[in-house]
Amino acid sequence: MKKYVSFFQLRFAMGIQYRTAALAGIVTQFAWGGMLIMIFRAFYQTDAASFPMSLSATASYIWLQQAFLAFFSVWMMDNEIFDSIVNGNIAYELCRPVNIYNMWFAKSMATRSASAILRCFPVLAVAAFIPHPYGIDAPASPLHFFLFVLSLIMGLAVTVAFTLLIYVLAFFTISPQGLRMVFISCVEFFSGAVIPLPFFPDKIRSFMELLPFASMQNVALRVYSASMSAEEMKQAILLQVFWLAAIAAAGKLLCRFAEKRIVVQGG
Amino acid sequence: MKTIKLYMHYVSINVRCMMQYKTSFLLTTIGQFLISFNVFLGILFMFERFSNVEGFTYSEVLLCYAVILLEFSLAEMIARGFDTFSGMVKNGEFDRILVRPQNEIIQVLGTKFELTRIGRTLQAVVMFVYGILKSDVVWTASKICTVLFMLIGGTAVFMALFFIYAALCFFTLDGLEFMNVFTDGAREFGKYPIGIYGKKMLLFTTFIIPYALVQYYPLLYILDKRTAMVYMFLPLAACWFFIPAVLLWRFGVRCYQSSGS
């Protein structure tokens, strides 16, 4: 366990160095969030009755989504890992007395946390000063805030476990690009990154909410502004625990299987 | 004439080069298709819930998005060399270009011709046809011309933006990601007619970065919401945006000191 904690710390320290990149990212995310809110405002002005959640809850959802983008955007994957699998450098990692699945898990968690921590506070701070329906509101209650933090971390873990599944699958195909793109588009769509899940028609939505993708950003961002009932929240968080366990178990099994049959071709 | 011939030669080299890796080409193309398909699905499901947005219906929004996507992918296909220009400055590749007795802009453009963007282009064309079939626009010669002008003007605006991005690389290589707001952002948010974003945004996109000239105003003309002929020619007017881009580039080249590697 100790070595994985140090992996986390090392990566975190590395990630926190990229401050200019973070600044540019903040500007981008801020513009992005603003534009998204303007779209939703236009729909709200046209037909407020069809809106599935309040406008201010939607605005909070969007600002949180932008602030914690690094937690949940699956397209930010570690190219180093893909490269090492393709060019064979992975052999060095396999010689070490570490479990590569756990190591990758620790490293990915660290990269995403570092990147999010650099970006989230400025975005949230500015969003807090934007007037009411368009800015970010205070959390609905201390309990909601606590559940928000809990489901945020769970969502991060589910996302990381999912990306790890893609890394492991790269062992079985030489060019992981295609796989990666299909997975990325699925996750973006089903997790509520394109439009929040409440905006989908009810029938499709109730199915989508059971998928592992809904356990990524969807839960935390909706818990924050209390746009889920107590019962729904309980179910959603339990589902997060379930998917984390299921995906991580599948990833570990697959990883062990891959390690057994892996052939590194000289060089 | 000679420069065009040279450019076509560059293009053919690029395409032949890419065709050496057919699987990779195919997969990237499919990936491009999938990513913009997500945006389309987003629009589709929004309109399942809402019948219109500020008076624009589903098929009208689709037309709007299709045109913007087509413009963007054409511009990206051609001007991808500018988009990856920071790498050329960093590794000193640009020095090699400067010593050749040819226009440097053509050479930079020639470094990359992204045929994989055909995936997005294809998507845009399909959506455009679908939008035409679903909407009840009566097509006249002047409206077809308007669409053509939109494509020309829009591709020019996006190319000019890539150009500015490349010119900025002469001054700094850090933190230029914010330019994505104007390129990727415009593609992403140009899917809805700019008018829905409010007055201020409309003013900004009319006079500062002329997106509205290639998107909103001509769209109004096509949808018969405006009838004045001037709306038809506004997209061509947007080409003025090339002037500051070229000036900035010239200035940048003059200030350029090699990175030394």
Residue-wise pLDDT tens digits, A170-219: 888 766 777 788 888 889 999 998 899 999 998 899 999 999 999 999 99
Backbone CA torsion sign across B201, B203, B208, B214: positive
Backbone CA torsion sign across A10, A11, A16, A20: positive
Nearest Cβ partner of B175 from A20, A35, A177?
A20
Is the pLDDT score of A267 beyond 60?
Answer: no
Q: Which tokens in the block code for residue B216?
A: 């909103």
Q: Using CA atoms, how far apart are residues A265 and A267, in angstroms rounded to an integer?
A: 7
Contacts of B41 in chain A (CB under 8 A): 189, 194
User: B69: Cβ–Cβ under 8 A, 6 or more apart, which residues?
Assistant: B36, B120, B123, B124, B127, B187, B191
Give the β-pairing of B52-53 and B56-57: antiparallel
Q: What percentage of chain B has pLDDT greater than the value 90?
A: 38
What pTM does this model have?
0.89
Best residue of A73, A187, A189 to probe chain B, by most B CBs closer than 10 Å: A189
Q: Is B73 within 8 Å of B160 (Cβ atoms)?
A: no
Q: Which tokens in the block code for residue B159?
A: 């190319």
For A190, name the nearest residue in chain B, comparing CA atoms only.
B38
Q: Do A24 and B23 touch (CB under 8 A)?
A: no
Dihedrals phi, psi of B52, to nearest 5 degrees: -155, 170
**DSSP-H helix ranges across chain A:** 2-15, 19-46, 55-67, 69-72, 79-87, 90-95, 100-129, 142-169, 177-190, 202-208, 218-224, 230-261
Q: Do B30 and A31 touch (CB under 8 A)?
A: no
- What's the number of CA atoms in the CB half-sphere (13 Å) around residue A18? 19
Q: Do A21 and B39 touch (CB under 8 A)?
A: no
pLDDT of residue B167: 92
- pLDDT level of residue A160 (50, 70, 90 thresholds): very high
Contacts of A185 in chain B (CB under 8 A): 31, 34-35, 37-38
- pLDDT level of residue B261 (50, 70, 90 thresholds): low
Q: Which tokens in the block code for residue B72?
A: 């963007």
Distances in whole angstroms, Cα of residue B63 to Cα of each of B40, B76, B192: 11, 20, 10
Backbone CA torsion sign across B198, B200, B204, B206: positive
Distance from CA of B145 to the nearest CA of A (A): 29
Chain B residues within 8 Å of chain A (Cβ atoms): 23-24, 27-28, 30-31, 34-35, 37-39, 41-42, 45-46, 48-55, 174-178, 180-181, 185, 188-189, 192, 196-198, 201
Is the pLDDT score of A86 beyond 80?
Answer: no
Q: Is A255 within 8 Å of A168 (Cβ atoms)?
A: yes
